[in-house]
């Protein structure tokens, strides 16, 4: 199965699974959770499913941690889009939750999606108790105040900082904001099989950073219609980005280097990991 | 050890433990997490520690789920106090997080405290992998869109509802908003010992509801200085409360009935559960 086909299949499977998981969430917050959890590229969930496939883990087990990371990512977008944060009205081509409903519903739907992520990671269907406990603990660390939230906080602080961030600071920021969840996703399949996740972690860290550099390039060069979100905001806010620090060509070269590092890290898996390599290449070629 | 002494000892132990756990959380969000996780009555953490003690579980293990539920409760307060939610400027006698810092920091600190709750519940120190996985799964369900968040959403919706809530609706709302975390807390100690948590669940449900009725009474009769938060807001907002539906005497009688039910549920534990009975009695006698 080619990368495109595998990514589409993962997106279809995740959409169906999240719809089932969210079916019994009542009320307006349930509606908002379904809205926020719908759509998207499902790259993080795809990483879980591909990493699981590489290790011979059946998809009916891997779909649970894949849904967990997609719920976690969806919550982070809902909160990130709030007026007090990035103040975005468009996400995945749809109105953001606080625009479609209101801020209180967006806060609560995001909160409930984070709880749902931990529910999905610890469901009995995932596997042994040791696996469920370890996935939840590592997910908590990846998502929390020393992981994703720290990256988001550094991002917010950068908007009002007296001096623009340095390259090292932006790299650290993105390692938290994107890298932590990417790494958890890629490692999950190896952990589910009791295997060593190191190669997949190295892959995911390089991939995650390339993905963010590509985001900065898209923010300058992309089409809002294709991206399904507002662009050009970082430049307008005078924020340092990989593009402002490295230039467009320098940023492209750095992203290409990282994609090569990511691909090389997968050497132990040989040709079986070609979809994961294509995922990293896709990260810097995408329009959305 | 009397109830007062046990509650104070639990508060001291939890304050020290959360300080240690949060020591390596960097930046402004780390500061905001420490601010939000400090103080409070620590009733939920006390329930975990007492329930663990009843089942012979050492406190150095039980302190972890106790810290988990206090982190979860702290996150819910930070988000509940936001301008788009209850819009409160005072909590535990201190400025709320969005007042002391700003809304973005409050959103992120709350998010990170929720992740921290799951980290504390799944740390290896808690016990077996099966226990850690089950605590995390039940915590996710208690906190999420069919538990605490659902109760909070019903509470927000009640503010703009065309007709005031009925007694059955307010009871359902509070079962989510307060009851779910109370129940998880009281059950945790039994689960840690591999025991049956049913009696403690029945106790916690009745206790949680009595606690909320007492909150409604305090909102009418209490002192802001003693409570450490703003009072009189429900009446000003024209919201139905246990007091508006039952009257002050009716609400007091209902709370007293529930405390009796809570105490009766603990019969299997005999005199060993006297601190838990006193906790329920305290719920309706407290000034804060």
Q: Which residue of A has its CA nearest to B132?
A: A133
Please tell me which of the candidates A79, A132, A144 has its beta carbon nearest to residue B115.
Answer: A144
Q: With contact defined as beta carbons under 8 Å apart, do B5 and B280 qualify?
A: no
Selected residue with higher pLDDT from B276 and B221: B276
Q: Share the mean pLDDT of chain A.
A: 94
CB contact under 8 Å between A149 and B82, yes or no, is: no
At B239-285, the pLDDT tens digits run 889 999 999 999 999 999 999 999 999 999 999 999 999 999 998 88
The confidence band for B225, taking pLDDT boundaries of 50, 70 and 90, is confident
Q: Which residue of A has its CA nearest to B152?
A: A108
Please report the residues numbered 21 through 60 in chain A whose beta carbons come closer than 8 angstroms to any beta carbon of chain B.
24-30, 33
Selected residue with higher pLDDT from A159 and A132: A132
Calculate what percentage of chain B has a pLDDT beyond 90.
85
Token readout for A155 is 């991002």
Distance from CA of B225 to the nearest CA of A (A): 28
CA distance A150 to B102: 16
At B25-72, the pLDDT tens digits run 999 999 999 999 999 999 999 999 999 999 999 999 999 999 999 999
The confidence band for A286, taking pLDDT boundaries of 50, 70 and 90, is confident
Task: Tell me which chain B residues have a C-beta less than 8 angstroms from the C-beta of A79.
Answer: 107-108, 111
The confidence band for A234, taking pLDDT boundaries of 50, 70 and 90, is confident
The confidence band for A92, taking pLDDT boundaries of 50, 70 and 90, is confident
CB contact under 8 Å between A133 and B137, yes or no, is: no
Residue A236's pLDDT is 67
* Unique residue bearing structure tokens 């007296």: A162
Task: Tell me which chain A residues have a C-beta less than 8 angstroms from the C-beta of B132.
Answer: 129, 133, 136-137
pLDDT reading at B221 higher than 70 = yes
For A16, list phi and psi in degrees, rounded to 5: -65, -40
At A5-50, the pLDDT tens digits run 999 999 999 999 999 999 999 999 999 999 999 999 999 999 999 9
Other CB atoms within 10 A of residue B225 CB: 10
Select the residue from B79, B136, B139, B157 to test the A interface by mutation, using most A Cβ atoms within 10 A: B136
Distance from CA of A103 to the nearest CA of B (A): 6
Q: Which residue of B has its CA nearest to A86?
A: B104
Q: Kindly list the structural domains of chain B, giving each domain's residue range(s) and its CATH number in brackets, ordered by start.
A: 3-285 (1.10.600.10)
Q: Is A116 in the B-facing interface, judged by CB distances under 8 Å?
A: yes
Distance from CA of B15 to the nearest CA of A (A): 19
Residue A284's pLDDT is 87
Residue A1's pLDDT is 80
Residue A235's pLDDT is 67
Q: Is B77 in the A-facing interface, judged by CB distances under 8 Å?
A: no
Q: Give the residue from B48, B61, B115 showing the smallest Cα distance to A136.
A: B115
CB contact under 8 Å between B105 and A153, yes or no, is: yes
Token readout for A19 is 């719809």
pLDDT reading at A161 higher than 90 = no
pLDDT reading at A231 higher than 80 = no
Stretch among A3-17, A154-168, B94-108 having the lowest mean pLDDT: A154-168
Q: What count of CB pairs under 8 Å joins A to B?
A: 169
Stretch among A164-168, B47-51, B236-240 having the lowest mean pLDDT: B236-240
* Unique residue bearing structure tokens 């997490």: B33
Please tell me which of the candidates A28, A109, A152 has its beta carbon nearest to residue B157.
Answer: A28
pLDDT reading at A230 higher than 70 = yes
The confidence band for A240, taking pLDDT boundaries of 50, 70 and 90, is confident
Residue B236's pLDDT is 67
Q: Give the residue from B99, B93, B97 showing the smallest Cα distance to B75.
A: B97
What DSSP state is assigned to residue A95?
E
- Residues with Cβ within 8 Å of residue A190, at least 6 apart in sequence: A51, A54, A55, A196, A197, A200
Distance from CA of B111 to the nearest CA of A (A): 7
* Unique residue bearing structure tokens 């009766």: B264
Task: Tell me which chain B residues have a C-beta less than 8 angstroms from the C-beta of A175.
Answer: none
CB contact under 8 Å between A25 and B110, yes or no, is: no
pLDDT reading at A223 higher than 90 = no
At B151-175, the pLDDT tens digits run 999 999 988 888 889 999 999 999 9
Residue B235's pLDDT is 67
The confidence band for A86, taking pLDDT boundaries of 50, 70 and 90, is very high
Task: Tell me which chain B residues have a C-beta less than 8 angstroms from the C-beta of A119.
Answer: 137, 140-141, 144
Please tell me which of the candidates B109, B111, B118 has its beta carbon nearest to residue A136.
Answer: B118
Task: Tell me which chain A residues have a C-beta less than 8 angstroms from the C-beta of B116.
Answer: 140, 144-145
Tell me, letter by letter, the H, E, C secondary structure of chain B: CCHHHHHHHHHHHHHHHHHHHHCCCCHHHHHHHHHHHCCCCCHHHHHHHHHHHHCCCCHHHHHHHHHHHHHHHHHHHHHHCCCCCCCCCEECCEECHHHHCCHHHHHHHHHHHHHHHHHHHHCHHHCCHHHHHHHHHHHHHHHCCCCHHHHHHHHHHHHHCCCCCCHHHHHHHHHHHHHHHHHHHHHHHHHHCCCCCHHHHHHHHHHHHHHHHHHHHHHHHCCHHHHCCCCCHHHHCCCCCHHHHHHHHHHHHHHHHHHHHHHHHCHHHHHHHHHHHHHHHHHHHCCC
**ipTM for the predicted complex:** 0.95
Write out the H or E segment, with its range, that includes residue A276.
Answer: helix A274-285
pLDDT reading at B286 higher than 90 = no
The confidence band for B229, taking pLDDT boundaries of 50, 70 and 90, is confident
CA distance A45 to A107: 23
* Unique residue bearing structure tokens 């405390």: B259
Please tell me which of the candidates B75, B144, B153 has its beta carbon nearest to residue A27.
Answer: B153
Task: Tell me which chain A residues have a C-beta less than 8 angstroms from the C-beta of B97.
Answer: none
Mean pLDDT in residue range A139-152: 97
pLDDT reading at B176 higher than 80 = yes
- Residues with Cβ within 8 Å of residue B170, at least 6 apart in sequence: B240, B241, B242, B245
């Amino acid at each position: 199965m080619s990368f495109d086909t595998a990514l589409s299949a993962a997106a279809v499977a995740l959409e169906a699974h999240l719809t089932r998981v969210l079916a019994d969430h009542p009320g307006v917050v349930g509606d908002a959770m379904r809205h926020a959890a719908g759509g998207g590229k499902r790259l993080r969930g795809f990483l879980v499913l591909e990493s699981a496939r590489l290790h011979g883990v059946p998809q009916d087990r891997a779909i649970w941690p894949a849904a967990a990371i997609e719920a976690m990512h969806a919550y982070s977008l809902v909160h990130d889009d709030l007026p007090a944060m990035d103040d975005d009205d468009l996400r995945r081509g749809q109105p953001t939750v606080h625009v479609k409903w209101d801020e209180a519903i967006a806060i609560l739907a995001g909160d409930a999606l984070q709880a749902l992520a931990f529910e999905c990671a610890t469901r009995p269907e995932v596997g042994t108790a040791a696996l469920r406990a370890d996935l939840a603990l590592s997910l908590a660390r990846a998502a929390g105040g020393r992981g994703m939230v720290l990256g988001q906080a550094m991002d917010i602080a950068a908007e009002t900082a007296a001096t623009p961030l340095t390259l090292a600071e932006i790299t650290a920021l993105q390692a938290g904001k994107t890298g932590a969840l990417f790494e958890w996703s890629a490692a999950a399949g190896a952990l589910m099989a009791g295997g060593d996740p190191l190669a997949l972690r190295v892959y995911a860290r390089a991939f995650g950073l390339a993905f963010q550099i590509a985001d900065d390039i898209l923010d300058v060069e992309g089409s809002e219609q294709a991206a399904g979100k507002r662009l050009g905001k970082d430049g307008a806010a005078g924020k340092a980005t990989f593009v402002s620090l490295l230039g467009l060509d320098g940023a492209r070269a750095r992203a290409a280097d990282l994609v090569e590092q990511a691909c090389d890290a997968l050497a132990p898996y040989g040709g079986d990991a070609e979809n994961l390599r294509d995922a990293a290449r896709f990260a810097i070629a995408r329009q959305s």
